[in-house]
Amino acid sequence: MAIVGRTGSGKTSIFRAAASTSTRHERLAGIGAAYEECLVEVGIDQISLVALPAIDGFHHLDEDSRVTLKYLLWGDRWPAIAEHEAHQPEGAFAAPDVLLVVMDATALERDLEFALELMPLGRPMVFALNRMDEARARRRFINVRALSAKLGAPVVPTVAHMGIGLADLFTATVRVAREAGSTHLQSPACPTSLHIEAQLRAIGDIARQPDIVAAFAVPEALLTQQLAENDDYFAQELEAHFPGQYAALLTARAAADAALPRPLADEIHADRHHRAALCYEAVTRPSQEGAQPRWQLWADDLFLHPRWGFVGTLAVFALVLFFVFEVSAFLDRLTVARMIAWAEPWQPIDLAGVLVRAVLDGFIGLAGIVIPYMIPLVLLLVWLEESGIMHRVAFVVDRGFHRLGLHGGVALPFLMGLGCNVPALAATAAVTHGRDRTVASLLITFLPCSARSAIILAVGGKYLGGFGVFGLFMLAPVVVSLVGKLLKRRYPETTPGMIQEIPAYAVPTLRALLANTWERSRDIVTIVLPLLVAGSVVLALLGHYGADAWINLALTPVTGWWLGLPVVLGVPILFGVLRKELSLLMVFQALGTQELATVLDTTQIATFLVFLIFYVPCVSTFAMMLKLLGRRDALYSVMLSIGVALVVAAAVRWPLELASWVL
């Protein structure tokens, strides 16, 4: 599918909105402006989308426009008349199956004239009536259905820079491409004037001669138009290859010039302009009909405007962060913290009691995910989806996430990961699939959830100061970016472009909110709970049978040699796979003091915190990864997080040790 349009029509905006994370830039025949190409998924179909250089018409073709016309006609299979040219096709590119023609609703008459020039190509077409918001702001109503009938092709109103109408546009384009082979193209309702057609018959006879048809491989209507109107490319090739027919062309044009009030070329141009004007008058009128409510216009300016759209996005992000650090934290203190405080005095020493306490800890751990984080954050995500806001946020941040090889739909799941990785992974499953789901899930595990953030704030704030805490938090986006580049190598498949649908605003119903929240959350019981309880039991048994010393000894290469930490911290690191807060409590127990500065220096504290930030999040996260990605990628996630945690911790430790040694 080729996107075609005049300069400033919005052609590039449409391509950018649909483009994949990787686009190909090539020059047609090695000359002229470059075109862009990428794969795009439209429902179950996958299309090759090409954005051609802007072209303002076929009247007196310049060199760049001539090359674009050659692509539209022939692709990389040039006919006999073009074999002698110095610039030949350098890469494989097929002629388009369907044209997506972009028209500017604020300059419709001009673009209608260009559309009439394109019609003799004989290609199936779909028209994007772009910049409809500006047309409405100027109180200009365009009857889209009537315009479609006039052009003999689907017309879809769009606001490309806001993503509005693009899903319908590409759906219509795929439908036209499917139907092109089984149906005849509809004839436009604005044909060439009869007095022009009469004068073109002699030139049409030349264009349909078998040897001309074979040599030019150009639709008869287009070749007739070009030979009658222009003295450039096609007429020059006709003179070079068929001098007899060229002499006949000159005779036919002279006869037409004599019969018409103006020269034939001027008459054709004037007739096209007149037909475009009549079409424009028939489909437009001043009106307020179809205007959006004012509040929707304000909302779109807040969420979709190219400049101010990030304001709305930041507001949504701030709302999510508020839920993470205020609402979820409040619910955690109100419920789970009380459960932990209630269970803390019971420290059984017999085997049965230890097992019961381990199962209880597993259920408390599940409650710690579901009550403060899963329910409010998933409810918020579903509300943003049902209201139409999330789709707008995804559209705005799409280009930024392309740097990670992802689409903008993962923006809110990434934010949810700051609260808890488990609901973030569940949200990722709802908005991604295939490679995107795998890469997004792997990257989310490197975001500091609220439990890890609590440790950073509690320990880092006390011993490292404000700048130290800021530096620890800034490590996360740096690591996510670097790991994202690494994952591009492991998963090199280019993610196809995706059309971000921009639905109408809606007020979510309570029934839809609850149903979708349950749909997103129910796997937590069947997937996470069993693994959480099993992990709690295993670790409890290790502690009950005095395996602490053996665990510390086995982890000495990591804790003592690589991280430079006391060997006794091996057990707290291992138990951190249940809950990160548990790691911090066990650190105090293992070191025998609440004042870490008495046994650890600043370098060791910083190294330990960095390792905990990127080390395996928790067994609950692993359970969700197991469900989403399967055993292989879930285990790869564990190994990746351990490897990244070791590398980043060492990268922090060694410069700090060197600096302290120098000082």
CATH of the domain at 113: 3.40.50.300
Tell me, yes or no, whether 295 lies in a domain.
no
- Alpha-carbon gap, residue 466 to 606, rounded angstroms: 13
Which residue has 């759209």 as its token pair? Answer: 309
Tell me which of 475 and 305 has the higher pLDDT: 475
Q: How far is CA 270 from CA 59, 114, 260, 593, in A?
A: 12, 13, 12, 92
| Most distant CA pair in the chain, distance | 113
* Residue 649, pLDDT score: 92
Whether residue 207 has pLDDT greater than 50: yes
| 308 lies in the same domain as 362 | yes
- Evaluate whether residue 580 is within a structural domain: yes
With a cut of 70, say whether residue 292 has pLDDT above it.
no
Cα R_g (the chain), whole angstroms: 33
pLDDT at residue 2, as a whole number: 92
Question: Can you name the residues that pair with 155 across neighbouring β-strands?
Answer: 127
Q: Smallest Cα–Cα separation from 113: which of 2, 268, 218?
A: 268
Torsion 258-259-263-264 (CA) sign:
negative
In this structure, is residue 430 part of a structural domain?
A: yes
Q: Are 57 and 535 in contact (CB under 8 A)?
A: no
* φ and ψ at residue 348, rounded to 5 degrees: -65, 155
Q: Please indicate, yes or no, whether residues 126 and 153 belong to a single structural domain of this protein.
A: yes
What's the rounded Cα separation, in Å, for the pair 233 and 230?
8
Place of tokens 């595990």: 445
Beta bridge partners of 46: 41
CA–CA dist 498, 40 (Å, integer): 6
Pick the more confident residue, 654 or 194: 654
Q: Are 164 and 201 members of one domain?
A: no
In a domain, residue 269? The reply is no
Place of tokens 């609703």: 105
Cβ atoms of residues 648 and 476 within 8 Å: no
Does this model's pTM top 0.75? My answer is no
Helical axes 631-662 vs 434-444, angle rounded to 10°? 40
Q: How far is the CA of 85 from the CAs of 78, 233, 410, 590, in angstroms?
A: 10, 12, 49, 81
β-strand partners of 99? 2, 125
Question: Do 38 and 22 touch, CB atoms closer than 8 A?
Answer: yes
DSSP string over 226-290: HHHH-SSHHHHHHHHH-HHHHHHHHHHHHHHHHHSSS-HHHHHHHHHHHHHHHHHHHHEEE--TT
Alpha-carbon distance of 500 to 157, in angstroms, equals 16
Highest mean pLDDT: which range of 91-100, 177-186, 603-612: 603-612
pLDDT-derived band at 6 (thresholds 50, 70, 90) equals confident
In order of 240, 350, 503, the CA distances from 384 in angstroms are 65, 50, 12
The answer on pLDDT for 448 being more than 50 is yes
- In this structure, are 369 and 482 located in the same domain? yes
Question: Residues 487, 531: one domain?
Answer: yes
Residue 337: both structure tokens together: 């913290």
> In total, how many domains does the chain have?
3
Assess if residue 144 is contained within a domain: yes
Q: Per DSSP, which regions of 7-164 are E strands?
A: 24-27, 34-42, 45-51, 99-104, 125-130, 140-142, 155-157
Residue 294 lies in a domain: no
Domain span including residue 248 = 195-264
Joined together, the tokens standing for residue 496 give 């196809």
Place of tokens 């609402």: 327
Average pLDDT over residues 191-206: 85
Highest mean pLDDT among 24-33, 83-92, 176-185, 502-511: 502-511
H-helix or E-strand containing 2? strand 2-5
DSSP of 379-422, one letter per residue? HHHHHHHHHTHHHHHHHHHHHHHGGGT--GGGHHHHHHTTT-HH
Judge if 451 and 521 occupy the same domain: yes
Q: Is residue 58 part of a domain?
A: yes
| Spatial separation of the C-alpha atoms in residues 65 and 53, rounded to whole Å | 8
Q: Determine contact, residues 420/612, Cβ cutoff 8 Å.
A: no
330 Cβ contact partners less than 8 Å away, ≥ 6 residues apart: none
pLDDT band at 128 (very low <50, low <70, confident <90, very high): very high
Look up residue 222 and give its two tokens: 């287009």
Over residues 486-491, mean pLDDT: 79
Residue 510: inside a domain: yes
Q: How many Å apart are CA 344 and CA 361, to the nearest integer?
A: 10
- Please work out, in degrees rounded to the nearest 5, the angle formed at the alpha carbon of residue 26 by the alpha carbons of 24 and 29: 155
Say if residue 510 is in the same domain as residue 607. Answer: yes
Please give the helix or strand (H or E) that residue 4 lies within, else none: strand 2-5
Do both 541 and 606 map to the same domain?
Answer: yes
Residue 569's identity, in one-letter code, is L
166 and 253 belong to one structural domain: no
**Does the pLDDT value for residue 184 go beyond 50?**
no
Of 169-173, 256-260, 399-403, the range with the lowest mean pLDDT is: 399-403
Verify that 418 and 561 share a domain, yes or no: yes
Residue 531: band (very low, low, confident or very high) from pLDDT cuts 50, 70, 90: low
Residue 369 and residue 326 share a domain: yes
Q: Do both 281 and 246 map to the same domain?
A: no
Q: What is the DSSP letter of 45?
A: E
| Angle, vertex CA 80, rays to CA 75 and CA 82, nearest 5 | 60
417 contacts 449 by C-beta, under 8 angstroms: yes
Point out the domain boundary residue: 226, 256, 286: 286
